[in-house]
Amino acid sequence: MGMSMESMMARTCQFFEVNIEQLQSKWRKREVVEARYFFYYYAKNIESKTLVMLGNATNRDHTTIIHGLRTMENLFETDRAYRDRWIRFVEFMKPEKLIAA
């Protein structure tokens, strides 16, 4: 069983030091957009969530989600620092890394 959408969003926000309201808002600050894109990519490719589920969670249209996924793929191909951050993010998202409340 995978992570819930809420857990993924909370962990993403923790990693990027943003809040859920920012993740769901129309803010276009780089750190918020990057957090959204990482969330999209993780949820879609690691947790097998649908575009509709991602759109509902972040108040976005499916085409915006697709754009974010493509942006991530392009950055992985061209930016080693971005790939390295992705690896740290995936490690951070692993269930065994979750801290009991």
Range list of H helices, the chain: 5-16, 20-24, 30-45, 51-58, 62-78, 80-93
In a domain, 100, yes or no: no
Any idea what the CATH number is for the domain that residue 57 is in?
1.10.1750.10
Q: Which two tokens stand for residue 29?
A: 């600050």
- Domain of 65? 5-95
Q: What is the pLDDT of residues 6-33, one digit of tens each?
A: 999 999 999 999 999 999 998 899 999 9
In a domain, 70, yes or no: yes
In a domain, 28, yes or no: yes
- Euclidean distance between CA atoms 75 and 82, whole angstroms: 7
| pLDDT above 80 (res 92) | yes
pTM: 0.90
In a domain, 46, yes or no: yes
The mean pLDDT of 35-49, rounded to a whole number, is 96
- Give the model's pLDDT for residue 91: 95
| Number of compact structural domains in the chain | 1
